Amino acid sequence: MARVVVDVMLKPEILDPQGQAVQRALPRLGFEGISDVRQGKRFELEVDGPVDEAALARIHDLAESFLANTVIEDFIVKVESEEAAAGAAK
């Protein structure tokens, strides 16, 4: 089993009111000096078998068509565990 992480974030030009609400609460909690917060989603996919190029390509397609809505969101796919990284390098 290997873990692949898909991080999804709203595109920079899209208003993120959730992130803004978090940012506005920070001074009240004593956190100063944080001028912006944006909130995204992280998907951790446990993959059976090796995370080779073909598997990564399929996960990329999955992220592009389903996990992220590319009209409003950007995404990054990364292999997290070392074991999986070795698999990807094969």
Partner 1 sequence: MTARIGVVTFPGSLDDRDTQRAIRLAGAEPVALWHKDKNLHQVDAVVLCGGFSYGDYLRAGAIARFSPVMETVIEQAKAGLPVLGICNGFQILTEAHLLPGAMLGNDHLHFICRDQKLRVENAGTAWTADYEAGQEIHIPLKNMDGRYVADEHTLDKLEAEGRVVFRYLDVNPNGSLRDIAGITNEAGNVVGLMPHPEHAVEPLVGSGRTDGLPFFTSILKKLVNA
Which residues would be at the binding site for partner 1 (CB under 8 A)?
10, 14-15, 17-18, 21, 66-67, 69, 71-72
Nearest to partner 1 of 6, 84 (CB atom): 6
Q: Whole-number minimum distance, CB 77 to partner 1, in Å?
A: 17
9 in Cβ contact with 38 (< 8 Å): yes
Nearest to partner 1 of 41, 85 (CB atom): 41
Q: Which ranges constitute the DSSP H helices of the chain?
A: 17-25, 53-62, 82-89
Q: Whole-number minimum distance, CB 7 to partner 1, in Å?
A: 15
How many angstroms separate the CA atoms of 51 and 16, rounded? 33
